[in-house]
Amino acid sequence: MAKPLILVSNDDGITSRGIRLLVNVMKELGEVVVVAPDGPQSGMGHAITIGNTLRLEPNDLFGDVKAYECSGTPADCVKIAKHFVLKDRKPDLVVSGINHGSNTSISVLYSGTMSAAIEASLEGLPAIGFSLCDYSSDADLSHVSEYVKRIAKNVLDKGLTKGVALNVNFPPKRNESIRGIKICRQANATWQEDFDQRHDPNGRRYFWMAGNFVNHDKGEDNDEWAIANNYVSVVPCQYDMTAHHAILHLNEDWDDIS
């Protein structure tokens, strides 16, 4: 029986620690092919390259695993993997990550990690984005492998609803073991930006964006609650952004439409 074909990508770049761990876990589940950015692409969202060239080069970083580094965005990587690298072969699973930093709540919209997964779901492929909620330079990944494998195996064995990608976030390594997995919703939270105005050595003004993450959600069924309480959060995401509940309101209240 043929092994499942698993495509691996990310947004932190092909040399990141997170993708190395993800590749090693996926090798236990199937045949792995890697197509990942040649450098960091964090915060790129679902950007694609349309006005510049795309470059794709083989990379032997993962030994016997076929791997390529791409000059484009995470979404570019999934596109070129499906339509060029794999050609007529259809991946059984696409995984992205493991991201160095949280992709809970509203961050899913900005995330290159999740954009790779959502691009795969646009192509009708089961997909998962994995992120670790720890921004420290020496973030400990040792507690996530068993959960990466468990979640990926469930998707391989049982499938996903078409058009759905899973946004999986891991709590940082703590003194207690992870308490389990929570299937939950995206928390109602926002970023409150602050732009620090500075000047370069030539006196020209520039800005440095900073800000604070503000959680407005008091529920116990969302990803922020799960991470705070040492659970792995799993949020099913879709690319249809239609506000279906607003259609009736607009049709009833707007004038001069027919």
Per the annotation, binding residues for a divalent metal cation are 11-12, 42, 99
Q: CA–CA separation, 240 vs 257, rounded Å?
A: 24
Q: Write 80-86 long-range contacts (CB < 8 A, 24+).
A: 80/35, 80/54, 80/56, 81/7, 81/9, 81/33, 81/35, 82/7, 82/120, 82/123, 82/125, 84/56, 85/33, 85/35, 85/56, 86/5, 86/7, 86/33
Question: Which residue carries 């770049």 as its tokens?
Answer: 13
Question: Which residue carries 């800000």 as its tokens?
Answer: 211
Q: How many CA atoms lie within 13 A of 32 on its CB side?
A: 24
DSSP letters spanning 129-142: EEEES--STT---T
DSSP letters spanning 81-127: IIIIISTTPPPSEEEEEEEES---GGGGGT-HHHHHHHHHHHTT--E
Q: Point out the annotated binding site.
A: 11-12, 42, 99
Q: CA–CA separation, 200 vs 173, rounded Å?
A: 39
Find out whether the peptide bond into 118 is cis, omega within 30 degrees of 0.
Answer: no
Q: Write 247-251 long-range contacts (CB < 8 A, 24+).
A: none
